[in-house]
Structure 1
């Protein structure tokens, strides 16, 4: 019973922290005169704060460490709970009256997928649109990480909790204490958000739009407040700024800490960063060259190419053009980016560049071993010899990742989607990308798919955000054995 109490206590504290953030859309609703929407935010805000305050003080003297099984369960239940919580303002306000649609929108927001069921976001109250983007921001760096940063003395294994929520094959600390690591990362995240907000304001966007897009961009989510996404502004400065911040959000935030603390060597020798920049540059140039006849000049082609590459590679999902109307060669490179993702330790989703680096190096070693059977070859990362267990970890993750993609594709086709649309939608859901190809491209939405498929996609989005194992492990019989 003591364990159950601690479990429930932490869930309600997490919900209280998310609930407290509803103050921002409440103030937005007041400023915009959207008085009828305010109860949709204030009711869940007050209830979550009351419950969270009660449980915080009721169990303040109870310090119980979670078992490894409990950590997996807590993170999974916490993410499902906040997704349900995030749907409440959407339902109560009448913006999305159906639960399955509101839940899909909320899961897509917190997991930073950016797939929407809405065909017209401009009819929504501005406070609701801000909340949609704000959920991206909260989910981007991690809500468990935020909880640990704000309340480091909860008596729970902080490292195990954050490890279960963070992305990438290797998860470590950049400061001796995990609570300080979480705080440092969140402060860096906040700093980038403020910088992006100011830059958009300077470009002429109003306060609410600037804040909405700052939340959405740094969270690499992609929800927009205009039906045409960023393309609605038809502004080169806005596109350049968003491209830059999407690119920055796709980099491991630990590297920014090393820059600030003067550890430049850690940045220069980072294998993943080099691969990330290389893939980005190659795709931008190749697509731009293909698009010259389409847009009439290299500079215009480069404008649309760089934005779409940054958007898809970092799994943000913004659009200034519909890439499904581009020539096949340009679509090919966009399709390749569905398999890459950004860097580990960033807010982007996807397979992660570091895993492809590991697999490429291991494949190279296997060919060398064929030529030199008695040679000893290791995977070198960041100019350091790697470990065999990292290769095994990446190979196992690749199997689970693409197995979930193929299972999701099968379910998509059973639910009526065309094969390629279903396959790219499944890649998009598991990789938290947002748009797909075919009937679910950048100019379309997920509103027409059946409720069952929406729930399945919700599972895929949360599984993808939690790096698969933390949700799929509950299907493993050994998890339930004592």
Structure 2
């Protein structure tokens, strides 16, 4: 383990975090809010720490997969702790556990909150909450790699450890160029949504914060009612962009380089669109009696389906009150999640598709023992290593989920609350059902349960492995 180089990487994360905090401080000056001084103090703390860690570049540049996983896991813990400082210093969220919960929820783009009155926060704090979504959506290390090459030819270890999905590859030969392209697409989509929201009558502050929360598929709203008070035009714009940010960003790159045939080959994209359409239609018909017309029911259904499958977590209605079938479908797509290589959470559509096809082939081999069945994705053979990694992920996911539900159940809330609260945090969604429904919050849980949720949010955002490895005794043993 190259601890010196990992420390160097963490130093750069402190440096960038200082810059993010300073941006928010400048915005607080424009808003004329004294609570913004908390961001200046936090930025100075990060800048000093970062300067110490990056003062001397390490001579040993050997950097392997386990180093990448460790650096990413520690890096996310660093941004979570430092990102909580403004809440604590300003006193707007005085509890350490609550401040950490809110910050981790922001960076992991979960959108679960401990706040019962979001509108009581100052505007600069509301901006910071949404800004953490935008930073965390594409990834902290991916952002750093846009600017500086940290580990020479081993940068891919960092990107693979942080990027969501069963496999991550380069769009272009250089990793930092790939990161730059990804963030270019990410920024362009964010700006496009912001412009459309401004056209719908939103103020600049509302448009920016909503676009940040949508882009990162996070769902932190600046109103207690989330998106319910906004016009149907604004709701539709947000719903469409939630769905767009749930698409694998490689698809947008292929569109830019004009390769439509490659886009049409994407089995994941077809499955993603199909799930959204089927879920929207079924839920729309199921809830039609609660709305003035079938059209408005379909509109509300599409918004909520797009919000849940992309793990954004915005809401326009209390779906906790919807019929059982609709709630069951929403819980099911909580686990499915968005596409690999998007800003969304969940298990990922590609994993579901590959796992299903692998199961189908295994069943076929029992029926026809002499047949040769190969799992394909996008017209290509899926490597055994990928299938193995997916199986490992699913088993680990199941273990973490079950253990988390058991630990949360110690508080003696309803099974629906316990089950969906873990589903909402591990899949980085935000709202669940019952006591954690869209009109509720996580503030009622005790510090122990909040720690479980915080671990689940980080583990879910980092695809489990980095966080599990970090707590594995084998990592820290000297050979």
Answer whether TM exceeds 0.5 for this pair. yes
Matching residue of 1:146: 143
Q: How does 1:83-162 map to 2 (within 5 A)?
A: 83-152=80-149, 155=152, 157-162=154-159
Matching residue of 2:15: 16
Distance in 2 between the 1:474 and 1:13 partners?
A: 20
Residue 363 of structure 1 deviates from its aligned partner by 1.9
Contact conserved, 2:80 with 2:100, CA < 8 A, in 1?
yes
**Against the structure 1 CA distance between its residues 61 and 7, is the aligned structure 2 distance closer, same or farther, given a 3 Å change threshold?**
closer
Residue 333 of structure 1 deviates from its aligned partner by 1.2
Give the TM-score taking structure 1 as reference length: 0.96
Distance in 2 between the 1:112 and 1:61 partners?
A: 33
Residue 153 of structure 1 deviates from its aligned partner by 5.1
The reply to whether residue 381 of structure 1 matches residue 377 of structure 2 is yes
Q: How does 1:461-480 map to 2 (within 5 A)?
A: 461-480=457-476
Matching residue of 1:31: 30
For structure 2, the residue ranges without an aligned partner over 5 or more in a row are none
Deviations 1:420-462 (A, max 9, x none): 2101111111111111111110000000100011011111110
Distance in 1 between the 2:385 and 2:8 partners?
A: 36
Matching residue of 1:228: 225
Q: Which runs of 4+ in 1 moved over 3 A?
A: 2-5, 53-56, 60-63, 153-156, 474-478
Q: How does 1:272-311 map to 2 (within 5 A)?
A: 272-311=268-307
Matching residue of 1:170: 167
Distance in 2 between the 1:89 and 1:61 partners?
A: 31
Matching residue of 2:407: 411
Residue 412 of structure 1 deviates from its aligned partner by 0.8
Distance in 2 between the 1:302 and 1:100 partners?
A: 39
**Secondary structure of the residue that 2:441 maps to in structure 1?**
coil
Give the TM-score taking structure 2 as reference length: 0.97
Distance in 1 between the 2:443 and 2:453 partners?
A: 12
Residue 477 of structure 1 deviates from its aligned partner by 4.2
Deviations 1:113-154 (A, max 9, x none): 100000001111001000000001100000001111111255
**Secondary structure of the residue that 1:189 maps to in structure 2?**
helix
Alignment coverage as a number of residue pairs: 478
Distance in 2 between the 1:383 and 1:123 partners?
A: 52
Distance in 2 between the 1:33 and 1:423 partners?
A: 43
Deviations 1:262-312 (A, max 9, x none): 121221101110100000000001100111111131111011100000000
Contact conserved, 2:313 with 2:431, CA < 8 A, in 1?
yes
Distance in 2 between the 1:370 and 1:282 partners?
A: 31
Residue 3 of structure 1 deviates from its aligned partner by 4.3
Matching residue of 2:355: 359
Q: How does 1:335-374 map to 2 (within 5 A)?
A: 335-374=331-370
Residue 46 of structure 1 deviates from its aligned partner by 2.5
Distance in 1 between the 2:284 and 2:340 partners?
A: 27
Matching residue of 1:218: 215
Contact conserved, 2:246 with 2:310, CA < 8 A, in 1?
yes
**Against the structure 1 CA distance between its residues 153 and 463, is the aligned structure 2 distance closer, same or farther, given a 3 Å change threshold?**
closer
For structure 1, the residue ranges without an aligned partner over 5 or more in a row are none
Contact conserved, 1:220 with 1:249, CA < 8 A, in 2?
yes
Distance in 1 between the 2:3 and 2:286 partners?
A: 58
**Secondary structure of the residue that 2:335 maps to in structure 1?**
coil
Distance in 1 between the 2:70 and 2:374 partners?
A: 35
The reply to whether residue 444 of structure 1 matches residue 440 of structure 2 is yes
Distance in 2 between the 1:8 and 1:386 partners?
A: 36
Residue 97 of structure 1 deviates from its aligned partner by 0.6
Contact conserved, 1:133 with 1:213, CA < 8 A, in 2?
yes
